[in-house]
Structure 1
Amino acid sequence: MKVSTGKPFQLIYSLFQHEYLGYLFESFVIQLDDKGRLTLQHQNISSKNAKEFGAKMDDRDFELIKLMDQMQQEAITLKFYKKKIKPADFFFKVYDKEKGDVELQNTIDHYLEVRRSRILDLMDGKMIFEMGRDGEPAWRQIHWMEQKASVLFHFRRNEDNTHYFPTIKHNGEKLEWQYNGSFLICNQPAWLVVNDQLFRFEKGVDGPKLKPFLNKKFVVIPRKVEATYYEKFVSNLVASFDVYAKGFEINTERHDLIPEITFSELSTAQSVTPDLFGSVKSNGKGDLEPAKILFKIGFKYGPYTFPYDVNATSSVKLERKGEEYIFHKVKRNLDAELWIINRLSEKGLALKNGRQTLTRGEGFAWLSEKKEFIDNEGIIVRQSEKDSKRYFVGEAHIDIKVNENIDWFDIHAIIKFGDFEIPFEQLRKFISGKKREIILPNGEIAVIPDAWFVNYAELFAFMDHEGAPRLKKHHLSLIQDLQNGQLAQVSMDRKLRQLENFEEIEDFTIPPSFTGELRPYQKAGYNWMRFLSSYNFGGCLADDMGLGKTVQTLAMLQSEKDKGKKNASLLIMPTSLIYNWEIEASKFTPDLKVLVYSGSGRDKDVASFEGYDLVLTSYGITRIDIDILKGYYFNYVILDESQAIKNPSSNIAKSVRKLKSKYRLILTGTPLENSTLDLWSQMSFVNPGLLGTESYFKDEFQIPIEKKQDQEKAKRLNVIIKPFILRRQKSQVAKDLPEKVENVKYSTMTAQQEEKYEEVKSYYRNKILDNIEKTGVKKSQLLLLQGLTQLRQIANHPRMTDPEYTGDSGKLEDVTYMIESALSKGHKILIFSQFVKHLSIVKEYFDKNEMTYAYLDGSTKNRQEQVELFQEDESIRLFLISLKAGGVGLNLTRADYVFLLDPWWNPAIEAQAVDRAHRIGQKNTVFTYKFITRNTVEEKILALQQNKIKLASDLITTEESFIKKLEASDIASLLS
């Protein structure tokens, strides 16, 4: 029956026992009569309607009601059973005596105990009742007792057994609580109802210690099991609670605290351990090599050592003398123990529950580095006696000196573990072979610190293995890194140091016969190339497209001629760029004698190169004629668009590595497209050995960076290659270029378009996810690409996949509107799409509305004519361009708007499209608009781009085609 809020009422809490869940509470409001007494008119309330009665409630009441709601059988069923089921069926299933789920029962019990304890803590001052069997909520009132009760545990040992029982006191009076209907309503900690009074206890006594005695005077411990019982049960009881004993002693003791760290090995793998001089000691089966070291903190009090326990105010050691037992109860200094724990954490040993596991290298490095702290704090360190190996615990020291020689860096090193010196070559072998333990002459095992593997692994890997330890000069960055990290003493020529800081490189004179003019950043690039050549270093000029890599290279080649270099230089490029290089050379370096080594009529004799300064050829010709070309010693071998050799196992990559020259240079806007291995292939061409062997590079860089997203490895790789890669982005040379403004325009699908999209998405999602489950991600890539392509096309316009489609497209509406708006203000617009079908749809719109335009796709014959038409004819203000046809080789500086109709997998390709307009010669601000259809794969591709290109952008540039990198979760997200 309803309770009126307009009349006096009272909020109460009613306790009842559930068949399976134990004691629960419910909240009620009860109407009061004219004299303020409870009536039979009541109403059950919950969090849903509690606010109606808020006038009589405080914050505790709202929290209590919320907690009680969480304990009701309907809430328990919903929380712990994901399928729809009636509570009665749920409890019958879970609590069946033979087939019930015991683990789930325990989980539910813990869940309820936590809430019971919280509820009872909040009950102070509230009206609590026991519910009647007829459901009457206010049947019998229970009074919450403010003062905590205390428990004294009694033990009486005699010749046959030990009697054990507890007594309870409250307010100094003994409490009669046995054989009178008393009951426990919570166990952790114990809450006991005695004669309608609710008691809690000092020292957090738990219910199971009282429950056996509700209807039993004492428990008998037989003599034959007393030793075990005393050790496992009575000792803990003595440590935590008040105990009265007859028949054995309890001695309370106080001692000074001494912290003690014990370490032990955790064996996980088999290996043999080399000794100091490289020989192997083994038991024939191989010693167990511990991968980890476990540190445990203990606290010594006099003769006793106890493990870490945040709640233990006392600990007990049981001593047995003949038939007598003595319990030594030791008071612990918890504040001092916690202070030690915190100090160790500050020093790098973060002990959780008194334990911490570190790698062997980290663990022993910590002991070595923190020896002074350990001694000052009086901490005892010892190895577990159970360990079969005995480890060296002391100072590990490495001292490396580097001196610059003519063509090398000479390496000198002293390595010591305590008083024992380790031969440098032996340490190199251990670190290169990832072996971490060395047996010292005294039989102890020294562990090489992990930091040495991190700091010196590359130094040892790249060192020359023959003769005295030395390193090629192109590993300059490694030496500088060691010096900057104070890991080595370095003696180096000041001039060579300039390569670390690009701005400090000396200024070289531009050749008088160079007819062009270099912008400041181009002049800096020219200086950089000249500097590299002075040290016989190779380099990669990786400037953004449109910044003039060609003109910088020509200026450098002209300087080589002016220095009197007689041998020709070889410049290899895609066939389509040969004519462009020939034109540019004749314009800027007319004194260079240029030979185009191409075509079927080429003279296949390197003798024909004599008298020429520059030989231009293609990658295809190089691959075919490599046996001829490798017979000539070139001054420079230069690769333009060097990503052509990104696959080190390709025929062209193998071919160019056979070429002989004094210097090597590569030019590319995208040195990294698919994988870091692209970078290895190109950088190993210009500076052989810079990044080690291919297998070393894969293990040390490619796999950690690409598979494990190891940012530290990415930084290390960047350090190594940085001196030999020069990359300037447009933002860095903004004063030489007009501003570029980038925008993303989101479109919404029309209803008809969305229906078509969802139909296709549903079809492919089920097909692709089923295929992944059966055959895996890799074998589903073709199907995935097919499905994503169709979805991208529908996001543009459904007519791209269904010629019979008669509906409209949200994106086309937005695109045409913005085109007309831009045209009305006199702008010229480049419109790019990856799909020729998409361009055809836009072209159809232009034709229908009599809008003139230039057009370029792969089938266009008069390519240059279309470019000139757009550049020179003011009436042609629209240029439709397909990605493949317009990605490179176009200069369209008359455009100040660039529309990207659909997003591409590789953002670098989008940037190339924008660069058709945003390049030197452009005098206006360039506005770019990328059109994205909301709630489609286009929008999700944007998010995936950010995740998948981070690796590449951290090193050089963006990557291309990340389909192969998609994981099952990525695919599910795209198709969701």
Structure 2
Amino acid sequence: MRGGVPQPWSAGKEAGGAPRAKPVNRNSKRLLVYVLDVSSTLNQNQVVIDLARRQRRPAGDWGPLKPWWHAPGSPHAKYEPEDRDLLALLEETQAAAVANGATMGDPMMGTRRYVLRTNQALIVEKLARSGRLRLRRTEGEDDPPTMRWDDGPAWRFSLDIRPELGGKRWSWRGSLRRGDNRNDRMDLAEPLVLVPGLVIQGIGRASRFDDVGVMPWIVRLRHEKEIVFAEPQQDIMIGRILAEARVSPAELVETIQFEEIDTPPRPCLTLRTPRQNWGPGSDRLLAELEFDYNGALIPAGRTTPLAVSTELGLIIRRNPQVEAQADILLFELGFRESKDPRVEPGTMELPPKRMGQVTRDLVQVGWRVEAEGKLIRPAGEFKLAVTTGIDWFELGGQVDYGDQSLSLPELLEAVRRGDSMVTLGDGSMGMLPEEWLKKYGMLVDLGTSEDGHLRFGNAQAGLLDALLAAQPEIRVDSAFEKVRKSLHKFEGVRPVDAPAGFHGELRPYQREGLGWLDYLQKFDFGGILADDMGLGKTIQVLALLQKRRARRLAKGPSLAVVPRSLVFNWMQEAAKFTPRLKVLDYTGPGRHALRDSFSAHDLVITTYGTLRTDIAELSQLDFDYVILDEAQAIKNADSQAAKAARLLRGRHRLAMSGTPIENHLGELWSIVEFLNPGMLGSSSVFKKHTGTGGNLDDSDRSLLAKSLRPFILRRTKAEVVKDLPEKTEQTLHCDMEPAQRKLYEELKAHYRTALLRKETSELNRSKIEVLEALLRLRQASCHPGLIDPTRTAEPSAKLDMLLPQLSEVVEEGHKTLVFSQFTSFLAIVKDRLDKEGLRYEYLDGRTRNRADRVERFQTDPDCPIFLISLKAGGLGLNLTAAEYVYLLDPWWNPAVEAQAIDRSHRIGQTQRVFAYRLVCRDTVEEKILELQQKKRDLADAILNADKSIIQTLSREDLEFLLT
């Protein structure tokens, strides 16, 4: 009572159940009072206690409540024992509250104490039992009432859930209940204060409160009075609150009776295709994963351990291990979470091609798979048959789906539409046989649809045969069976001896090559001779042409299209090995006059440049064989050379290339289309399967390899090493372009005039001038840049021949030495290699770390080329990793050249070595070689390792060199 004398308090209990506090010492001049401030408590969601005191008046009564400033940590000794205990308890909980940031920035810090949420019921109970805890319900209340502690059972939160609108939405309300029968009830909005562990009613009665672990829901329900969830959200939310609650569902929710189950789920996968109007990126399947718990479907991705089906009255204790294993399995099978904002979170994607195998895998381990609400059936057995027409083969049949079936035309139409499933007769969905299509999809695309069948041309017999090899149950008619047998004869190709009129001896693998060429000829197939460089592809073809001439099989001349740098070598090889062949060089400005004489020759040799220029005339002629050497020149199907080659008319066609595929499989299409038109279908279909990177998947690659195997013959050096001599040397003749030829002829004319006008005696004293003349002419033969440094970017005959061959050798996985006497020429070669992206090592007389460079070339597989100056590297190096040697310029002394070649061919070399000497035609280089040969018999006396041929040059020799 305000201003009244306090009544004596006894130790008995008040009506509220709390024991009375001990009477205040009548000698005390002040009384401590603890005030629970409702407004601050509600704002902080935790109990806030204000310290106050009352001063005894002279009349003996107590004055009004006044705030009491008591700094935290101040001594308590001068207060009553009970107050000392209470203050100490408040100090302790205040320290914990400060640590949690509850009092930061509070100007009333000295008079206010914050109670840690976990201690709220304990602190309020002790303060209430002191009899000096007041409840300030409104700000400015002068004489707040005393709070009483209720010793009854704790109040507990209860959730009322009721359906509305026939179950389309659900209403949630909360209440407080206590007692064994929960008859004592209180509306959730009734308490003046409701914080964790404590409920305070407006009459000043405080009680314990059990929020059962769902305090955030209680706060929301007190604020909103009612929460309404639509039907789809209801089960999610009830599952979430039940998972958070510390009590059983029956204790939390009384209005619905739930049955709790704990059983392993069955994964269920629903697949669907995106909407048709989604445009790019819709070539995929969307997937949603659910788990069937006794008929209740629980979507994957929910984080709560409990799931609820209100409709079925089930509370499901989820099995996280089984669900996690299902997620892992889907990831391993290729499913990925969709990043598309147009689909629901958690939706997954799968490439349509994987659907068949994925569905089979999932069904086998007990999954249920549906698409658009329809049961999915995996494809079963194929029933296929091949029939033969005049110049075509047809593939027809059906695929079974249990008691349903799908004809091959329907299957192919679905494939062309891009469907991943088809609707079967009973309304179920049949999965397209993705595994089968993965293996044979390219074959299917390479055929054309005709009257419910797939039609293939004669040239595509190999593709069909490759299919039959993996599908032995396919029925074939007798005509196609004969074709298959002829294809299989490739396995038994027999070596053929060199024909009459062939000069020289064919090695065993070359005789096998001639037998293979006979096989192609017999069945009118075109083929690619793809032996490693140096194995004599040209010789094998010349042997074939000589055989046809000897047996009078040729119907007109054959045409060989070769790079310009190889024209002379073809002529030279033909003269050496098949001298009876009448060979015509159809190049140069005067070639048009030779066209009428084609029929008088066995072989016409021309270049790709001439082919492009003269295709209008050449395409009107009939040739026995059309041969493309270095056929990678037509790798780009859209190039003028490729288009011109396809226009040529030949009874037989042949391609020669050590690297028919330089970059990607798309290049192979162009060569095969020249050889056997239509074999690989259209260019667009082939590109569709090889993709932008020009590569096939493993199954398509395997099919392509099997189908093309009879038409490509490739032997590597390693495979035929036993048939090769230890060392093979060959001179490659190069033809200068006009600009380089002009420079050479001007130099030659200058030195011829300057030197040959001198008398013999005077000439003998002019060896230095002679050496300079021969040096300059040899340099001009190599590259114009050796004469004029401003011309290093110009082409040269030797570079035009060298660089393609280096690329081929590197592509085949071999290593090469490149020698030159001129470091300036090697510098030009380095620049070209850099532009081609070819890695190399370099060594000349100024190189110091020779051993490191040799070691790198010998051991590093990514370093396939070694550029070496002849003087610096001709002696003392062991470079047995190299299988090819190029000498860019001939030296006077054959012994020096031999020493350079022997850097590779020496003890420790296990491979056969091919050495090539590059020589420009109609230059001093040719004359040097001839002079070497003429004086070879005098080598011991004149040409030894210490002397140069220049010491024995006569005037006649010089005239010979300068002509």
TM-score (norm 1): 0.50
The alpha-carbon deviation at position 660 of structure 1 amounts to: 0.8
* Cα distance in 1 between the residues matched to 2:307 and 2:895: 94
The alpha-carbon deviation at position 719 of structure 1 amounts to: 4.3
1:161-200 correspondence to structure 2 within 5 Å? 162-163=174-175
The sequence identity of aligned pairs, in percent, is: 27
1:298/1:307 contact within 8 Å kept = yes
Deviations 1:621-673 (A, max 9, x none): 33333333223221111111222323333333222222111110011223233
1:867 is aligned to 2:852: no
The alpha-carbon deviation at position 552 of structure 1 amounts to: 0.9
* Cα distance in 2 between the residues matched to 1:821 and 1:327: 80
Look up the match of 1:592: 581
Gaps of 5+ in 1: 1-96, 98-151, 168-177, 183-204, 272-285, 320-325, 741-792, 802-808, 823-830, 853-862, 880-892, 899-911, 920-976
- Give the letter for the 2:385 counterpart: K
Deviates more, 1:248-257 or 1:678-687: 248-257
Deviations 1:339-360 (A, max 9, x none): 8889999999999999864344
2:239/2:304 contact within 8 Å kept = no
1:13-32 correspondence to structure 2 within 5 Å? none
1:654 counterpart (608, 633, 643): 643
1:414 is aligned to 2:402: no
1:577 is aligned to 2:566: yes
Deviations 1:670-693 (A, max 9, x none): 323355443322221111112222
* Cα distance in 2 between the residues matched to 1:294 and 1:821: 58
The alpha-carbon deviation at position 723 of structure 1 amounts to: 2.9
CA distance 1:458–1:347, shift in 2 (3 Å): closer
* Cα distance in 1 between the residues matched to 2:225 and 2:377: 48
* Cα distance in 1 between the residues matched to 2:592 and 2:156: 110
1:238 counterpart (232, 242, 246): 242
1:271-670 correspondence to structure 2 within 5 Å? 291-301=284-294, 304-308=296-300, 314-318=306-310, 328-331=314-317, 357-360=349-352, 362-363=354-355, 366-367=358-359, 373=364, 377=366, 380-383=368-371, 393=377, 395=379, 398-402=382-386, 408-416=392-400, 422-432=406-416, 434-436=418-420, 438=422, 446=430, 448-464=432-448, 469-486=454-471, 489=474, 491=476, 493=481, 496=484, 504-567=492-555, 568-602=557-591, 604=593, 608-670=597-659
2:720 counterpart (733, 745, 751): 733
SS for the counterpart of 1:654 is helix
TM-score (norm 2): 0.50
1:365/1:396 contact within 8 Å kept = no
SS for the counterpart of 1:481 is helix
SS for the counterpart of 2:688 is helix
* Cα distance in 1 between the residues matched to 2:506 and 2:874: 44
SS for the counterpart of 1:657 is helix
SS for the counterpart of 2:645 is helix
1:161/1:222 contact within 8 Å kept = no
- Tell me which structure has the larger Cα radius of gyration: 2
1:270/1:288 contact within 8 Å kept = no
The alpha-carbon deviation at position 539 of structure 1 amounts to: 0.7
SS for the counterpart of 2:626 is strand
SS for the counterpart of 2:277 is strand
* Cα distance in 2 between the residues matched to 1:628 and 1:621: 11
1:293/1:363 contact within 8 Å kept = no
* Cα distance in 1 between the residues matched to 2:482 and 2:534: 34
* Cα distance in 1 between the residues matched to 2:323 and 2:864: 69
- Give the letter for the 2:904 counterpart: D
The alpha-carbon deviation at position 542 of structure 1 amounts to: 1.4
Look up the match of 2:915: 916
The alpha-carbon deviation at position 521 of structure 1 amounts to: 1.4
Q: Please tell me the root mean square deviation across aligned C-alpha atoms, in Å.
A: 5.7
SS for the counterpart of 1:669 is coil
CA distance 1:209–1:915, shift in 2 (3 Å): farther
* Cα distance in 2 between the residues matched to 1:553 and 1:669: 14
- Give the letter for the 2:530 counterpart: A
Look up the match of 1:265: 272
1:537-936 correspondence to structure 2 within 5 Å? 537-567=525-555, 568-602=557-591, 604=593, 608-705=597-694, 715=702, 717-737=704-724, 815=847, 818=850, 866-867=889-890, 869=892, 873-875=894-896, 896=904, 915-916=914-915
The alpha-carbon deviation at position 540 of structure 1 amounts to: 1.0
CA distance 1:486–1:247, shift in 2 (3 Å): same
CA distance 1:738–1:304, shift in 2 (3 Å): same
* Cα distance in 2 between the residues matched to 1:158 and 1:403: 75
* Cα distance in 2 between the residues matched to 1:556 and 1:427: 46
* Cα distance in 1 between the residues matched to 2:402 and 2:467: 23
SS for the counterpart of 1:688 is coil
2:543/2:578 contact within 8 Å kept = yes
CA distance 1:208–1:514, shift in 2 (3 Å): farther
* Cα distance in 1 between the residues matched to 2:261 and 2:630: 79
2:672/2:680 contact within 8 Å kept = yes
Look up the match of 1:751: none
2:635/2:670 contact within 8 Å kept = yes
SS for the counterpart of 1:634 is strand
CA distance 1:363–1:154, shift in 2 (3 Å): farther
1:415/1:421 contact within 8 Å kept = yes
* Cα distance in 2 between the residues matched to 1:832 and 1:350: 42
* Cα distance in 2 between the residues matched to 1:534 and 1:153: 101
* Cα distance in 2 between the residues matched to 1:816 and 1:869: 28
SS for the counterpart of 1:683 is helix
1:47-126 correspondence to structure 2 within 5 Å? none
- Give the letter for the 2:240 counterpart: N
- Give the letter for the 1:259 counterpart: R
